[in-house]
Chain A
Amino acid sequence: MVSIRVENLKKYFRKVKAVDDISFEVKNGEFMALLGPSGCGKTTTLLTLAGIYKPTSGKIFFGDYLVNDVQPRDRNIGMVFQSYALYPHMSVYDNISFPLKAKGSKKREFHDRVVNIVEKLGIGHLLDRKPSEISGGQQQRVALARALIKEPQIFLLDEPLSNLDARLRVMMRAEIKKLQNDLRITTVYVTHDQVEALTMADRIAVFSNGKIMQIGDPEEIYNRPQNIFVAQFIGNPPMNFVEAEIKEVEGITFAVSKNLKIRIDDTLKPYLKNLNSPNVIVGIRPEDIKIYKNKELNRDLTEGILYVIEPLGRDEIYNVKVGESLLKVITEEKLKIGVGERVYCEFDAKKVHIFDRESEISIRR
């Protein structure tokens, strides 16, 4: 096991800045997710870690060892590709033992190891089949087995679950996490699915356009997004955003827009000095808004019209029109309100996020 350190890594394809000056560290045995939308440079980062791509500039360390010029095969990594890349002309057995054969091992030396790993992954009965003769989920396990058979010190996975159906994905999510937990192998896991990142990873690096927008553990990423990109990318349904202005009224600080007025909690006030101007974007998660049918006294309520309801089984998403903007509110409570009726929203002042409108950076940076 070994740690990874990336320093000012850049990877350009001619003019395309696929990876644009990123730095991060993955600790020994840590599960790190690289999360971001399509085309943001996740795969490029992973392939550069693997040594398939040469960095345009920057340094990659495995432990204290600079690996920039080390060949992929000497980096001791196991990799799972998005396409699985199982060799179609080889049996499952040959696929899994490929890395050992490539190193010149003989069958009698590695047979036990193959048996061992296929037992662990529950694919022992598939050894004679070709990849085209097994299901997607099984292919996925074979790919995992092939990556792990040589007991690598680093485990790289590129969207390994994106070809699976929703149910299988949820199952494999837990299995991969368990596997990583058992092996305690330093892992970099690429995904565009925020749920995967939040549920599986010890830490998450959120990517956008070849840059890292924020690195932190899932709790941090979710509760303290550093910028609007992270705030809107993480969370489902996404965070609500409202343009507002910071104003002081009778000694109380508010974020005020045309139709709503949100009180700024005392815990946030010290951060307001980070603002260059009073123009802000206020973010509030759907679960941090409470919805009432009647105007209750002694509460700071914002009036709106119920636009549409999206039932989710356990929860319901209420879409509320407040002036021009549409707020999403998620709650377990089943309110008996009809579409078009008047409702009242209460914002949890402690959970409000405030971003500079110019720089889109959180005041709690």
Chain B
Amino acid sequence: MKKRSPLFFFLLPSVVSVSIFFALPVILTGVLSFTGMDYSFKWNFVGIQNYIDMIGDFMISTVVKNTFVYVFFTLLLFNLGTALLLALFTTTVSDRAGGFFRTIWMLPRLTPSVVYGLMWIWAFDPTDYGLVNIARKLLFGLPPQNWLQSDPMLIIVVANGFVGASFGMILFTSAIKSIPRDYLYAARVDGGSWFFTVRKVILPMIKWQILFVTAYQTLSLLTSFEYIYIITDGGPAFATEVWALYTYHSAFQDFRFGYGAALSMVLVGIGIVSALFYLKFFRFKEMIKEPRIEVDS
């Protein structure tokens, strides 16, 4: 005990700050979710009424469907798919060309989200002046289309995907680059096509990074809504209203703070469940098993 007390004091500042900035908000939200707090900011406890309301909320089914489509497709097509293709492509070509391509893909991340969001709005502008409509006219001679009206979810997925892909790309790139070259040489000598080598050698060797990106990006897609907010604000007719945005709307548009908090708590639950699912699915334990023999080159 004597030895432990100085340790305790050393840890105290970080424990306190972690508690204040990370744990406390969750606890507060949790508590809030059992109140019927509205614009009057009163803590009137209503038990699990908010959660019961949720079951009856006709919006929920739309929101769940939207959230699933949004998360699933952004994740699969961009945050994993495009990221992986970019990483494989940019590590196959020369270092300089690869680096150049990766830098281009990093740009959206360096752009403020409002500017980036506005760019997409302009790109899909319904008039003759939208980028996509200009291209459509030049290439196919087709009249302008109101994209935000006809395919809002597609635009949301693409807009988020273009930003999101760079995260996985960077991680996958460094993972691929750190595969000892001998494995890739061996695969080339042993007659694997590029696709065969990717499937049998590269992907298994960056499994851990794939898991990490999948889990991390699922969680951030579940909770992020700023591009949707900027580009469609959940519309048209709730076609792009996802769970996080619905939470925001409930709390800060309808001033149903208690209900919004309850929605948040459910989202946290979904996040935890999906993280656990990934760990199980990728057999995480097996991956971190220590190898018994290390062969250095």
Contact = CB atoms under 8 A, between A and B. Distances in A.
A227 to B, nearest CB: 31
Contacts of B182: 81-83, 85
B41 interface: no
Interface of A: 47, 50-52, 71-73, 75, 77-79, 81-85, 87-90, 98-99, 101-103, 131-136, 139, 146, 150, 163
Interface of B: 180, 182-183, 185-193, 196, 200-201, 204-205, 207, 291-293, 295-297
Contacts of B189: 50-52, 72-73, 75, 77-79
Given A52-B185, A85-B180, A87-B183, A102 B190 contact: yes
Contacts of A51: 188-189
Contacts of B297: 81-83
Given A98-B200, A102-B196, A132-B293, A81 B186 contact: yes
B188 A136 contact: no
11 contacts: A51-B189, A73-B192, A78-B189, A79-B186, A87-B183, A88-B205, A102-B187, A102-B190, A102-B192, A133-B293, A134-B293
A83 B193 CA distance: 22
Given A71-B188, A81-B182, A132-B291, 18 more contacts: A47-B185, A52-B185, A52-B189, A73-B189, A81-B297, A83-B180, A83-B182, A85-B180, A85-B185, A87-B201, A88-B291, A102-B190, A102-B192, A132-B292, A134-B293, A139-B295, A146-B190, A163-B296
A50 B191 contact: no
Contacts of A85: 180, 182-183, 185-186
Contact of B204 (A73, A89, A99, A150): A89
Contact of B191 (A52, A87, A102, A163): A102
A163 B295 contact: yes
A68 B196 CA distance: 24
Instruction: Report whether over half of chain B's contact residues are helix, strand or loop; otherwise say mixed.
Output: helix
B191 A84 contact: no
Given A83-B296, A83-B297, A87-B201, A99 B191 contact: yes
Contacts of A87: 183, 186, 200-201, 204
B291 to A, nearest CB: 4
B186 A136 contact: no
Contacts of B201: 87
A84 B295 contact: yes
A294 B56 CA distance: 113
Given A50-B189, A85-B186, A133 B292 contact: yes
A83 B295 contact: yes
Contacts of B196: 102
Nearest to B191: A73
A325 to B, nearest CB: 39
A230 to B, nearest CB: 28
Contacts of B291: 88, 132
Nearest to A89: B204
Among B182, B188, B190, which residue has the most Cβ atoms of chain A within 10 A? B190
Contacts of A82: 182, 297
Contacts of B186: 79, 81, 85, 87, 146
Contact of B293 (A103, A135, A150): A135
Contact of B188 (A52, A89, A90, A163): A52
Contacts of A134: 293
A72 B293 CA distance: 29
Contacts of A101: 200
Contacts of A75: 189
Pairs of residues from A and B, 8 with the lowest C-beta to C-beta distance, nearest first:
A83-B297, A132-B291, A73-B191, A85-B182, A99-B190, A102-B192, A85-B186, A89-B204
A131 B294 CA distance: 10
A102 B201 CA distance: 11
Contacts of A50: 185, 189
B293 A136 contact: yes
Nearest to A146: B190
Among A72, A82, A146, which residue has the most Cβ atoms of chain B within 10 A? A72
B233 to A, nearest CB: 46
